[in-house]
Amino acid sequence: MHPNQQLLQDFYTAFNNRDYAVMQQAYHPNATFSDPVFPDLNAVQVKAMWQMLTSSAKDLRVTFSNAQADDQRGSIRWDAWYTFSRTGRSVHNIIHASFQFQDGKIIRHIDDFSFWRWSRQALGTSGLLLGWTPVVQNKVRSTANASLEKFMTTPSSR
């Protein structure tokens, strides 16, 4: 198995175990992360995001499959099941992740998922009717980024 493929498997195993420290160690100091909710995070922010998400999760379960990697690039499919805390609704998110590696670490991580599918589950009727609109997407992004900023500036959480 290629070392970067092992890195991905270790990362998602740690995610399922809510071990944010192992996840954080997988990132290069100059890493970037992007997904439909957190579109442009730097290494410090992405490490804090994983800590925030794993430490606040009550019923998170993560599985992964199709891990592929070489010296430069990698990909994986991962699924997450959890209760969305703002609404109490159950979510099953299906994510396709792509990676670039440098020095044996993740330098670029992009998660791709259907925002509308996620919003239908997480937000209910409003997500079903409006989850595809920029208004709802921007509101979710704004709320998520405010939560991350608050988490990063609260001494007890870091």
Q: What residue ranges define each of the domains in the chain, with the CATH number in brackets?
A: 3-113 (3.10.450.50)
pLDDT tens digit string along 131-143? 676 767 888 889 9
Supply 129's token pair. Answer: 């009717």
Q: Nearest Cα to 55, choosing from 153, 149, 151?
A: 151
DSSP E strands, 6-138? 27-34, 41-42, 61-69, 73-84, 89-102, 105-112
pLDDT tens digit string along 102-141? 999 999 999 999 999 999 999 887 766 766 767 678 888 8
Supply 101's token pair. Answer: 């590696």
Name the amino acid, one letter, at 136. V
State pTM to two decimals.
Answer: 0.90
Supply 4's token pair. Answer: 């970067």
Q: Rounded CA gap, 86 and 123, in Å?
A: 9
